[in-house]
Amino acid sequence: MARVLDGAALAAAIKQEVGEEVRRLAARGVKPGLAAVLVDRVAASEIYVRNKVQACAELELSSDLITPPREITTEQLLNLVAELNARDDIDGILIQLPLPPQVDSKRLLDAIDPAKDVDGFHPVNSGRLLAGRPALAPCTPAGVIEILKRSNIPIAGRHAVVVGRSDIVGKPVAILLLHENATVTICHSKTRDLPAITRQADILVAAIGRPGFIAPEMVKPGATLVDVGINRLSTREEFDRFFKGDAKREAAFQKRGSTIVGDIDPKAFELASAYTPVPGGVGLLTIAMLMANTVRAAKLRRGL
């Protein structure tokens, strides 16, 4: 029976540790602060940012939610970022993506002070991460490592295969696994005979953004499966492909008109020794790691 790696329990443990660190900093007169910039107010982004602000309140971090109009220009947003960079009460700056099409996202993200880049996307932090120097790591990849370590999954000496090479997840999680002494293979859309490589994985991380892409025949029995994908299914055909006969999922699908699946076919979990479910896995650690990064940024900025 495969072990389910419970993201909710792990996220709660991380938040408790962050809360204790916040209280220690408060005793020294320091209150970490996070600024969240939400421009394109699509429903998913609003919910995600609201959850981040709520997490700040729960952990007694200060937060500043800034919602510029959708028509804002790149130059105006650059001025806003410059103001946030200069504010001593702000330790972390995050700009919720996606941004409207008229905004140069790359210029904007590069303008954030690397010391306040709690999303870990700035090239300076990417370079520090690659070099193994103190850096603010991207939250989802950092969460993957926390799940493995806190679940006592051995990493050193294991063959880790990462499917996906994005700058946000695939590349940084591969670097973090390498720093933990795993032997790492990165796969992508141009990889030849992908199943032959994924079947070698002791730890298989799926971050390719395609529903159920990792099929059971692509998994080595006994592997640890880490599913980073979040894909919404809204048609009966899609639902039946992955969840036909699952009464609990069926009820939720009928009620909401959709359900969520990761990048790994749920049937593959039966072969694993341990796996992260979707929902309830990696996604829950992303906000917890954002809070941890904000506190870390506050300490690094002050030399604590």
Q: Does the global pTM surpass 0.75?
A: yes
Find tokens 């006969």 and name the residue.
Answer: 245
Report whether 214 contacts 204 (CB < 8 A): yes
CA angle 287, 143, 63 (to 5 degrees): 25
What does the chain come to in residues?
A: 304
Same topology, domains 30-116 and 139-285? Answer is yes
Q: Can 52 be counted among the known catalytic residues?
A: yes
* 125-150 CB burial, b ≥16 within 10 A, e <16: bbebbeeeeebbbbbbbbbbbbbbee
Contacts of 164 (CB under 8 A, 6+ apart): 170, 187, 188, 205, 206, 207, 208, 209, 228, 263
Please list the pLDDT of the chain residue by residue as tens digits (304 residues). Answer: 899 999 999 999 999 999 999 999 999 999 999 999 999 766 667 778 888 889 999 999 999 999 999 999 999 999 999 999 999 999 999 998 889 999 999 999 999 999 999 999 999 999 999 999 988 999 999 999 999 999 999 999 999 999 999 999 999 999 999 999 999 999 998 999 999 999 999 999 999 999 999 999 999 999 999 999 999 888 999 989 999 888 888 888 888 888 999 999 999 999 999 999 999 999 999 999 999 999 999 999 998 8
Q: Can 119 be counted among the known catalytic residues?
A: yes
CATH of domain 139-285: 3.40.50.720
Report whether 159 contacts 183 (CB < 8 A): yes
CATH of domain 30-116: 3.40.50.10860
Domain ranges of the chain: 30-116, 139-285
DSSP H helices, the chain, are 7-26, 43-58, 74-86, 105-111, 123-131, 139-150, 170-179, 194-198, 236-243, 247-256, 283-301
DSSP string for 130-147: HHT-S----HHHHHHHHH
Q: Of the residues 15, 96, 227, 265, which is catalytic?
A: 96
Q: Of the residues 119, 227, 263, 265, which is catalytic?
A: 119
